[in-house]
Structure 1
Amino acid sequence: MGVKVRTLAIVFDSREASGYSSGDPVSGQVLLEAGERLAVAVLRLEARGCARVHCADKPAATAAAAGREEMVYLQQQQTLRQATGDQGCFTLQPGKHEFPFSFHLPQGPLVTSFNGKYGSVKYWVTAILERPGVPNQIVKREFSVISQIDVNAPNFLSSVSKSKEKTIGCWFLTSGPISLSAKIERSGFCNGESIPIYAEFENCSSRLIMPKAAIFQTQTYLANEKTKTFRQMIANVRGNHVASGSTESWNGKALKIPPVNPSILDCCIIRVEYSLAVYVHIPGSKRLMLELPIVIGTIPYNSFGSRTSSVSSQFSMDMSWLQLALPEQPEAPPNYADVVSEEDLARQFPSVPQADHLEHEFGSPIFAYIQEFRFQPPPVYSEVDPNPILAEEMQREVSFEI
């Protein structure tokens, strides 16, 4: 890097760990430590992101012969510091210097960062320090981009099922068939989730079979009309042996998804797809297999939200008949006098004595009695019953009939 420049590095802000998405701001600092005074022409930053494919197994002289292809998704540059006016250089004093930078990722769809067998998708930032009479000093650092895939989308919530059958034998020496059927409730999952597998295995052959399930990752690369495919198993599970004439059922057998790259479905030269394979290992014969396509997303499955939306839609469907039954303007309630007669009204509400009559009965204003009762203290507690019931009265009240 030269004697005078001790450190030239790029540091991203804290969001780098979780990854960036389309339209997000990317910010950080270029750190430079000078051992002595530096004359600098310009310090600039370049941001770049692209998908690259190299389908050839051996290196070739040209990119076309090597089967290479490139798709650019990000290309930006900015000047962090340069000389002003007619000055050809600016001076940096000895010590540490920070040059902040910030830019936004494109709003359009970006492909998730990926590093595969015959290609990759990478995003990086390059800081270039130009000084007179000295070769340019360059530092590069990558950052990850994630294309968000919501597994709660309707096309990922529908169930997937398949069935298959195979007969084992040679010419006229054949045994009974082996049948297999499998189902998953949805096709969208995220890292760390377990896939519940519902499957039925029926063995009508004369051999002992073993049911299994696995998650496969298929990488497809396209460059100059050449296609390369790489397939690998990333997780598997097995069941119990199924003897001849027996059946085996999986009622939600769990297969956990390990940390893997999300599905890449929006790139024209690189695709990363996943499938759940449910198969039967048959000794001395090819295995019986069926594959259910799955998608590894980034936004986790929300069972409560999905269930609530389905229930609410069903409720709105079932209650739609009320709109036909209810009138546009409700009728006013009937008058109380029209429903209750004067005789019923007098019977329900007996005449209340007037205050003058009560005062004549008590010999003093009624308000005095109200205040007297209002401020009376509670009765004194006592364990002795003030109104005891004699034993003779109790015997007289209780009688038995034979």
Structure 2
Amino acid sequence: MTHTEEKTLDLILDNEQRGGYSSGEVVSGHISLKLSEETTVKTIKVLLKGYAQVSWMHKQSRCSEERKYLSLSKTLVGATGIQGFILDSGTHVIPFVLQLPQSPLVSSFSGKHGRVYYMVQAVLKKPFTENQCVCRELCIINHIDVNMPTLISPVSQTCKKMIGCWIFASGPISLTVNIDRQGYCNGESIPIDALIENRSSRLVLPKAVLYQKQTYMANGKTKITKQVVFSARGNVVASDFSSRWNGNALKIPPVSPSILNSDILRVEYFLSVIVEIPGAKNLRVQLPVVICTNVLGNSFDMSSHSTVGLLYPTFTLPDVAEAPPSYAEVVSEEWFEEHRTLTCQSHPDWLLDGPGFSCIRHFHVQPPPSYSEIYPNEH
């Protein structure tokens, strides 16, 4: 018998279209082996493996780590002797069943500097020849219950800053942000309750951003990337006015659930509400958000989330932030002229004539620099 006979090895899962598997569930399917003639076989095995890998360049060296999260093996067909046994020509269908461990697994994920992946592998071993293998990737989801007490409790934070100093101080700006809970799921919207108090003499613009933070750890070093998932803008808050957030709620697109149970790769989310202040450092409140796998008050239904689950390993976020709108898009010319007049009249004549105020007044009425001036290399 020659070694040039036609052989086809394939692996088929019983439920190819499901969104993903979780701890304790059964992975079943069959191995299909097509032979054009009699073939000597030693063993046919099925394996289920899971790994986390991270890697990036740090200066002149590479930082990398790997973790094995899963290793299951089952021999479906095996010979007792060294010589093996003979399979007839034709198609052989061999079913298999593997049960995932009950302990929590890390969710499948693909990021900029690392990934978590699982695969089912069929291995055909023949005497004195190279093994033949075929693999299928498996999506694993570690369920995070949004109904946990820590995730359904409201979250709140306040920050405040003074604009200017000495006689040129124009008053404080404060920001208070509340969200009704910390845990959310794909497709849900995060209602933002924010109060902006602007006691300064400047126009300020609120913005809300949902960030994904990827943290990679290897060789005692840490690599962090932060990317925008979704953002929304509110309306301008005038000088000496208070205003509540009047922008849109942030709707969560299909993204990977939070990964908090790996020692080399973490995926976290943060809601940032930012008050942009022309000529000064922005005011920012940042609240943690956990992306869960079930809707508030309901148990997780895998079939209803199958489309979302398939997107977990392949979803990528843009590396470059979108440029903000121009000043003219935010503030109308009529409102600008009215505000400038009111601001100038609110100061005493002796201060208006001074050189210090002329400088402040000049920058107070100027629009902020364009996006290209601040980030000239971003395209």
The equivalent residue for 2:339 is none
| Cα distance, 1:136 vs structure 2 | 1.6
Q: For the Cα contact (< 8 Å) 2:234–2:246, is it kept in 1?
A: no
SS at match of 2:131: strand
Relative to 1, partners in 2 of residues 1:106 and 1:5: Cα closer, same or farther, differing over 3 Å?
A: farther
Give the alignment partner of residue 185 of structure 1, picking from 166, 180, 186: 180
Identity %: 48
1:47 lines up with 2:48 in the alignment: yes
Query: C-alpha separation between the residues in 1 aligned to 2:45 and 2:295?
Result: 39
What number of residue pairs does the alignment pair up? 296
Q: For the Cα contact (< 8 Å) 2:233–2:247, is it kept in 1?
A: no
Query: C-alpha separation between the residues in 2 aligned to 1:32 and 1:120?
Result: 31
1:81 lines up with 2:77 in the alignment: yes
SS at match of 1:18: coil
Query: C-alpha separation between the residues in 2 aligned to 1:89 and 1:26?
Result: 28
SS at match of 2:294: coil
Computing the radius of gyration over CA atoms, which structure comes out larger, 1 or 2?
1
User: What CA deviation, in whole Å up to 9, does each residue of 1:258-303 have, x standing for no partner?
Assistant: 1111011111221111111111122232211110111100021129
Q: For the Cα contact (< 8 Å) 1:198–1:251, is it kept in 2?
A: no
Amino acid at match of 1:265: L
| Cα distance, 1:26 vs structure 2 | 1.2
Query: C-alpha separation between the residues in 2 aligned to 1:242 and 1:5?
Result: 74
Q: For the Cα contact (< 8 Å) 1:5–1:32, is it kept in 2?
A: no
The equivalent residue for 1:119 is 114
Amino acid at match of 1:210: L
Give the alignment partner of residue 162 of structure 1, picking from 145, 150, 157: 157
| Cα distance, 1:93 vs structure 2 | 2.7
| Cα distance, 1:252 vs structure 2 | 8.8
Q: For the Cα contact (< 8 Å) 2:235–2:246, is it kept in 1?
A: no
1:263 lines up with 2:255 in the alignment: no
1:244 lines up with 2:245 in the alignment: no
1:138 lines up with 2:139 in the alignment: no
Q: What stretches of structure 2 of length at least 5 have no aligned partner?
A: 299-379
Relative to 1, partners in 2 of residues 1:89 and 1:9: Cα closer, same or farther, differing over 3 Å?
A: same
SS at match of 1:155: helix
The equivalent residue for 1:70 is 66
Query: C-alpha separation between the residues in 1 aligned to 2:238 and 2:192?
Result: 21
Query: C-alpha separation between the residues in 1 aligned to 2:276 and 2:36?
Result: 67
Q: For the Cα contact (< 8 Å) 1:16–1:143, is it kept in 2?
A: no
Query: C-alpha separation between the residues in 2 aligned to 1:51 and 1:294?
Result: 23
Amino acid at match of 1:222: M
Query: C-alpha separation between the residues in 1 aligned to 2:241 and 2:82?
Result: 88
Taking structure 2 as the reference length, the TM-score comes to 0.73
Amino acid at match of 2:76: L
SS at match of 1:302: coil
Query: C-alpha separation between the residues in 1 aligned to 2:246 and 2:150?
Result: 24
Query: C-alpha separation between the residues in 2 aligned to 1:233 and 1:181?
Result: 22
Query: C-alpha separation between the residues in 2 aligned to 1:268 and 1:198?
Result: 34
Give the alignment partner of residue 149 of structure 1, picking from 137, 144, 152: 144
The equivalent residue for 1:101 is 96
Higher relative contact order (CA 8 A, sep 6+): 2
SS at match of 1:156: helix
For 1:197-346, what aligned pairs fall within 5 Å after superposition? 197-250=192-245, 253-302=248-297
Amino acid at match of 1:24: E
Indicate the RMSD between aligned Cα atoms, in angstroms.
Answer: 2.2
